[in-house]
Structure 1
Amino acid sequence: MNAKTLLITGGAGFIGSALIRHLIKTTDYQVINIDKLTYAGNLASLAQVVDHQRYHFIQADIADATRMQQLFADYRPAAILHLAAESHVDRSIDGPAAFVQTNLIGTYTLLEAARSYWTTLRGSEQRQFRFQHISTDEVFGTLGEHGLFSEASPYQPNSPYSATKAGSDHLVRAWHHTYGLPVLVTNCSNNYGPYQFPEKLIPLMILNGLAGKSLPVYGDGQHIRDWLYVEDHVRALQLILEQGRPGETYNIGGQNERTNLEVVNQICSTLDSLQPTTSGRTYRELIQFVTDRPGHDVRYAIDASKIRRELGWQPREDFDSGLQKTVQWYLDNHDWCKQIQNGHYQQQRLGLQELGL
């Protein structure tokens, strides 16, 4: 086993690419990025590390059992951090099959490949191996006006996305309790920050606003989310990998509860300050309320006291500072945004497939 090699699935996605940039910048890990490059995977998000000697990209489907077993055998990692997932609720409503395939079948395939590899390890190498599974607070369903999701909260998923993520969490726990595989599970609140795919709320509002398009808000905009800056999240993931207890679950949240309407209004105010419209109108005039989506959970909020207490993690950004950095990043990175909006970033996937990679 190579004690400094990590396999990371979904490393071309939003959180995965942030994790890889963080690990290459701040540690001496060798990072093997495994990503299928679906619509949400973008190698441009890894431009900072693409030529680094400790980074290597492999285009592969986590549901391909033969390929996954071969990658474990080839790289003999100290851990796998599993972030690959279909994650957009609206897409899960329109086409749940892809979510079942990736989130459930893919996780099962990885667990079996990891278990097969883990059983070949001996002594301290076997004890030190970790399977770290990154999940979401949406598996817990919806909260009332009060209270927080803790690690002991019951699972009550309400969308095909959250149901498949809940199922994957259960699979990971079962492989720990049945087979002894040393796993770590994390459930995070809503992430935001640079390089996020623009179907998500915050980048969608920023880019729509800059383009003078409407800012669609579901229902009355009173759905509440707990917002976590992505760089705070990936610091927590590294800390859990290195110091977390096998078999444990850790909630990661920013303690930044906002209604969707509050978030959109704050984005508008930030844009008004950083890049006022040429017409002199405010961005808030673009807000448009639209029909609510089915199964839309009212409120999520995370109790992150366990990771704070046991591992000493604290977020460095509050919502005001994190949102300011996020809006500024989108203003400063028109080329990245343009590639997403015109679909050119998807040519990377097609080009790699033509090369047989």
Structure 2
Amino acid sequence: MNQPLSVTAAQKAGPRLTVAVVGIALLALALMPALHLLPPDHALHVSAYTLTVVGRILCYAIVALALDLVWGYAGMLSLGHGLFFALGGYAMGMYLMRQAAGDGLPAFMSFLAWNELPWYWYGTSSFLWAMCLVVLVPGLLALVFGFFAFRSRIKGVYFSIMTQALTFAGMLLFFRNETGFGGNNGFTGFTRILGYEITARGTRAALFLATVLLLSGCIYVGWRLARSKFGRVLTAVRDAENRLMFCGYDPRGYKLFIWVLSAVMCGLAGALYVPQVGIINPSEMAPTQSIEAAIWVALGGRGTLIGPILGAGIVNGAKSWFTVAFPEYWLFFLGALFIVVTLFLPRGVIGLLKKRGES
């Protein structure tokens, strides 16, 4: 009689422990901006480089979480989330370029001897309109693409190939100078955001804190969705879509909603990535970027919310070290990591930790 009770207690303690660990980690991250504002000679001072690297990783963690919602819960492997991330970054970059140019044209337009702004640049000097573009552009693209894809019941490997083709087409389009997005150089040379110097310590701290808050909000939204009836339907779509349809559910609406939500989350992550890193170019749309995001999710553990965030941190942390110490070996390490995860960690790092905890 005591054994079932102890198992139940362990099952209840597991989620509580996870919530506590995540809360402590987010609180520690939220304290980093305050440590960055300390004098540089202070023992606890966090450098601008460290804040930028961690902020970039947190933006990628949001992308991993967004991909986990569509792949880990709904079973749709997207190889095109890099496009939504880059579109959000470009929307923010347009605003930042207008701020740097003042009353004139952005520098790359002057270099190309353009005389006026293209029509799609109108209004981008407004931060509010730029934020609308950050949400609307990736959201509407995902809505249109998802509507026709799900209506045609495209799924599995065919869905993955189509999303990869979509992001590759976007990359080719943005590489062209005549499209008005800076060509292969993209956008850089940002100076101000909302009237503040973008390189000022206070601005860096505020952007980092906004990233932590966005990540916290995405975790909360994902957690609420996963625990709701909507989340149970999504897992049913992943595990037995035909049986779900037999029960009277139309999975297309569920898939379309989570697909669009995931795209918007990526767009918001891209918008916070650009002012912190200081550049956005078409390489963010490269298919390899989206494939790497899938590796983050697989490494951390699909369908766990926290696992993909952990995977993004591990891979990008290793990438930051490898590209400085051994840049020529990074791709070999990434490939080996993917093979190891596929063969020995089918449930990712989170699955391994849960297995050890149960034993």
TM-score (normalised: structure 1): 0.24
Larger Rg, first or second structure (1 or 2)? 2
Report the structure, 1 or 2, having the larger strand content. 1
Report the structure, 1 or 2, having the larger helix content. 2
Highest RCO, 1 vs 2 (Cα 8 Å, sep ≥ 6): 2
